[in-house]
Structure 1
Amino acid sequence: MTVTQLTINIPDRPGQLAAISEMMGEAGVNIIAFFVSTNTPGGQGLMRFVADNPEKAYNVLVGRGVDVSTQQVLAAETPHHAGGLQAVLNPLKRTDINVLHIYPTIQTTESTILIIGVAPETLQTAVEALQKEWIRLFDEELYNM
C-alpha cells in the first residue's frame, strides 16, 4: 500500500519550478502532490512529488537530462480537524518509525491525504502499524483521484 514519489534536485534560481511543471504538463502528467525547498544546505533546490503517472514522469525527466530518483512512500488519510495528524503520527511513533518528510495532497472538509516518507527498511512496518489502527492507505488508486 504505497505510491511512487519522484525526487529531483533543481538549481536555486527563478524559473526552475515552472520548467518542471511545463515538462509535466506537455507530457500530460498531473502532479498530485509536491514539496519544494528552494534552498538546501548544498545550494540546490529539492522537489519531491507524486504524479498520476510516475513512470511517464520519470521517463520525461530522464529524457530531458534531469537527475531523478524514485522512492516508495505512504499515502495515508488523516482526519481534517485539530489533532487529526496524531492519528497517523502516533502509530508510527509507537513502532519507532522516523518520519523523514511529510506533505499534503488531496484535502476535503473531512480528511486530508498525506504523503509520508520513511526509511525504506521501515516501510512495511509503517504500513502494518497504520493498517492496524485502521488508517486508510492508498496505492495506485491515488493516481486516479
Structure 2
Amino acid sequence: MKVEQISIFLENKSGRLADVATVLAGAGINIRALSLADTTDFGILRLIVNDTEKAKQVLKDNGFTVGKTEVIAVEVPDRPGGLAHILSVMKDEGVNVEYMYAFVQRSGGNAIIIFRFDELEKSIHALQKAGVVILKGEDVYAL
C-alpha cells in the first residue's frame, strides 16, 4: 500500500534541476510523478520513479543529497468533490496532510494523488474503511 518516494535537496540555482533529470535519464530511470517546492536558497524535488534504489544510488554517486520517504498513492475520481472526500476522511480521523501532489493520466478518468500523512498506518486504515482505492507501489512505478 505504500509507495517509495525519493527527495533530492537542490541548491536554488540555474541548471540543478536539469542535472538531476540528466543523471536519471543516463541511468535509464523513468520519472512517474514529481513535485518541486522551493525557498530562496534551496528546493526539495520529490520523485516517484520506476526504480527507487537505482535512482537513489546514481544521484548520490553524482553528489546529490537524497532521502527516501514512504507515501500513499490514492485513486480519486477526476470530478468535483473527489479530493474533498479524501480530505474529509482524513479530517474525521484527525490525520494531518503534510504534503500532496497529483497527476491525471487522462481527463475524465481517475486522478492519482500522492499523499504524505503524519500517521501513515492510521490513514491507510481510514481510507480503506471509506472504500478509497489505494495503489500498490508496483502499480504506481509501472504507470
User: 1:76 is paired with a residue of what secondary structure?
Assistant: strand
Aligned counterparts of 2:8 and 2:110: Cα–Cα separation in 1: 28
Which residue number in structure 2 is paired with residue 117 of structure 1?
116
Q: In structure 1, what residue type is equivalent to 2:76?
A: T
User: 2:134 is paired with a residue of what secondary structure?
Assistant: coil
Does 2:133 match 1:136? yes
User: 1:82 is paired with a residue of what secondary structure?
Assistant: coil
Q: Deviations over 1:19-73 (max 9, x none)?
A: 1111111111111111112325xx2111111111111111111111211110100
Q: In structure 2, what residue type is equivalent to 1:99?
A: V
Q: In structure 1, what residue type is equivalent to 2:10?
A: I
Which residue number in structure 1 is paired with residue 80 of structure 2?
82
Q: In structure 2, what residue type is equivalent to 1:131?
A: Q
Structure 1 residue runs of 5 or longer lacking an equivalent are none
Aligned counterparts of 2:58 and 2:86: Cα–Cα separation in 1: 33
- For residues 55-70 of structure 1, the aligned pairs below 5 Å read 55-70=53-68
User: 1:36 is paired with a residue of what secondary structure?
Assistant: strand
1:92 offset after TM fit, Å? 1.0
Which residue number in structure 1 is paired with residue 28 of structure 2?
28
Q: How many residues align?
A: 141
Q: Is the 8 A contact 1:8 1:67 kept in 2?
A: yes
Aligned counterparts of 1:46 and 1:22: Cα–Cα separation in 2: 17
Q: In structure 1, what residue type is equivalent to 2:4?
A: T
Which residue number in structure 2 is paired with residue 13 of structure 1?
13
User: 1:21 is paired with a residue of what secondary structure?
Assistant: helix
1:126 aligned residue (123, 126, 129): 123
Q: Quick one: percent identity of the two aligned structures?
A: 31
TM-score using structure 2 length = 0.93
Whichever structure has more strand as a proportion of its residues is: 2
Aligned counterparts of 1:144 and 1:6: Cα–Cα separation in 2: 16
TM-score using structure 1 length = 0.92
1:114 offset after TM fit, Å? 0.6
Aligned counterparts of 1:53 and 1:84: Cα–Cα separation in 2: 29
Q: In structure 1, what residue type is equivalent to 2:21?
A: S
Aligned counterparts of 2:32 and 2:20: Cα–Cα separation in 1: 14
